[in-house]
Amino acid sequence: MADSESVISNNIHRDFYIPTYILAPGASSNSIRLPDVPTCPVLVFINSKSGGQLGGELLRTFRHLLNKYQVFDLGEEAPDSVLRRLYLNIERLKSIGDQFAAKIEERMRIIVAGGDGTAGWLLGVVSDLKLSQPPPIATVPLGTGNNLPFAFGWGKKNPGTDLNSVISFLKQVMNAKEMKMDSWHILMRMRAPKGGSCDPIAPLELPHSLHAFHRVSPSDELNVEGFHTFRGGFWNYFSMGMDAQVSYAFHSERKMNPDKFKNQLVNQSSYLKLGCTQGWFFAPFVHPSSRNIAQLTKVKIMKKQGEWQDLQIPPSVRSIVCLNLPSFSGGLNPWGTPNSNKRRYRDLTPPFVDDGLLEVVGFRDAWHGLVLLAPKGHGTRLAQAHRIRFEFHKGAADHTFMRIDGEPWKQPLPENDGTVVVEISHLGQVKMLSTHDCRAKSIHDPSSQFNHEADEVDSDEENSVDEERKKFGAADTFKIPDEVDVSSLS
């Protein structure tokens, strides 16, 4: 038994271990030296509060297998401070001729375990830090939706936390393929009200602008006197309307009664029940038409640089989703794969994750959403665009519900002379790790191209219709492309 554990330990060291002197600047360079550079050195970030007890169990198993200094609890230390310290130390070691450290940097991969919010936070930090060799990232599903892990082939069910399961996962990471994924900047601006507040209300009180907008400071170049300006970013989707309303009710209930939401199946069951109680299944009877998307906001899209055009939204649409990944609400694909006629006459493409385009999809109610469970089912395809702008009508409603990558909030809207503008634009890309079960498709990978002759049956009648960049705020501040005309938002 002891010999077996010794063999496992030796294999782990050979493939995944990072010596302490690289991780901790104060450690002696003679602490532990490996004969060869590991094949796949990994940094592991775990949200110990995710997945009920599973996050804590996973943390203990990884620390047992690896150097405890290369496994981090996100509840104890933020990833930006970890990565800054590590990469500064690597640069110092490289400056004195340490080729081992240089190879570690070259081969390093990151593992992040948690919900989509946790994964998005880590992705935002890696993007913000502008590392010369940013490591690719593998995601462990520990949340309720797990859309990010599912899209790249890591599954959507909570993982095993025992020794064999973790070793098996590490081997998958070592054999995983790199692919790029688009990231998106989102900016919201509204006239400052004479009384009260228009601040977004984040029910989870998340500290990252990745999941809830943060107001820019008075010294920020995006700040405009007389207006409140917020900015953030996302990886998977931005949605607005009744689907975000149901999500907001779920997260609010979970915040008030956390002990009732420690099981993934219970969480999903509770979500379905709230969909009923919030009226999502009976929207025509309980949801006023004034809150339908077309009555609430004017939508503009940009397909070609500098050319805005109005997007006609069907009057019955109560929820609109802007998608980057083919994974929504636990792995569903609202865009599907347009058939050859749609590609020819509407200039639609399959949903690639690295083509700089968002897919914009509308839903009437929950029954409409259930069409996604059918083969080749999809929502109402509205458009694909590089940039999208929502201009909320004066006095259309006193609030609406919005959601970014699974994190919802109730957004107050000015009632009188104010106009709220939300604009989404392409930001950049990050490197992901994907398995052979990956559902995300790359426009640059011929092996992942779609079958152009695979026609679908329509579920309903569709309506046609660089230098520096701002950062996610997950590590510092958020930057947007210089070509974005911020003044037009005022």
Cα–chain center distance at 479: 17
* pLDDT at residue number 485: 44
* pLDDT at residue number 33: 62
Q: Is 187 helix (H, G, I), strand (E, B) or coil?
A: strand
Q: Which residue has the higher pLDDT, 463 or 46?
A: 46
Ordered DSSP codes for 313-352: PPTT--EEEEESSS-BTTTB-SS----HHHHHHS-----B
* pLDDT at residue number 370: 55
Kindly compute the dihedral angle of the four CA atoms of residues 435, 439, 444, 447, in this order, to the nearest 10 degrees: 70
* pLDDT at residue number 27: 62
Residue from 121, 103, 100 nearest 112 by CA: 121
Q: Are 372 and 332 in contact (CB under 8 A)?
A: yes
Angle at 240 between CA 390 and CA 207, to 5 degrees: 100
* pLDDT at residue number 263: 61
Distance CA 54, CA 479 (A): 35
- Of the listed ranges 11-20, 112-121, 213-222, the least confidently predicted one is 213-222
Distance CA 9, CA 1 (A): 12
Q: Which residue has the higher pLDDT, 461 or 250?
A: 250
- Of the listed ranges 67-76, 100-109, 414-423, the least confidently predicted one is 414-423
* pLDDT at residue number 397: 74
Distance CA 434, CA 445 (A): 13
Distance CA 397, CA 390 (A): 14
Other C-beta atoms closer than 10 Å to the C-beta of 303 total 14
Find the helix or strand (DSSP H, E) in which 140 lies.
strand 137-141
Residue 50, amino acid: S
- Of the listed ranges 107-111, 180-184, 310-314, 334-338, the least confidently predicted one is 334-338
**pTM (two decimals):** 0.80
Q: pLDDT tens digit string along 346-402? A: 778 888 999 999 999 988 765 545 555 555 667 788 999 999 999 987 666 777 888
Sign, CA dihedral 205-209-212-213, equals positive
Residue 297, amino acid: T
* pLDDT at residue number 385: 94
Residue from 355, 357, 383, 356 nearest 442 by CA: 355
With a CB cutoff of 8 Å and minimum separation 6, the contacts of 225 are none
* pLDDT at residue number 275: 53
Q: Map tokens 């839903």 to a residue.
A: 363
* pLDDT at residue number 458: 45
Cα–chain center distance at 477: 18
Distance CA 148, CA 145 (A): 9
* pLDDT at residue number 311: 93
Distance CA 153, CA 164 (A): 19
Q: Are 350 and 292 in contact (CB under 8 A)?
A: no
Q: Map tokens 């590490």 to a residue.
A: 170
Model confidence band, residue 165 (pLDDT cutoffs 50, 70, 90): very high
* pLDDT at residue number 420: 82
Distance CA 408, CA 390 (A): 17
Model confidence band, residue 105 (pLDDT cutoffs 50, 70, 90): very high
Q: In the chain, what is the straight-line distance between the N-terminal and C-terminal CA atoms, in Å? A: 69
Q: pLDDT tens digit string along 248-307? A: 777 677 677 666 656 656 565 655 555 555 555 555 555 666 667 878 889 999 987 778
Distance CA 347, CA 380 (A): 15
Q: Phi/psi at 155 (nearest 5 deg)?
A: 90, 175
* pLDDT at residue number 214: 64
Please say if the pLDDT value at position 4 is more than 70. Answer: no
With a CB cutoff of 8 Å and minimum separation 6, the contacts of 210 are 117, 120, 121, 124, 232, 233, 234, 404, 405, 472, 473, 474
Residue 461, amino acid: E
Q: Angle, to 10 degrees, between the axis of helix 54-65 and the axis of helix 163-175?
A: 70
Distance CA 458, CA 462 (A): 8
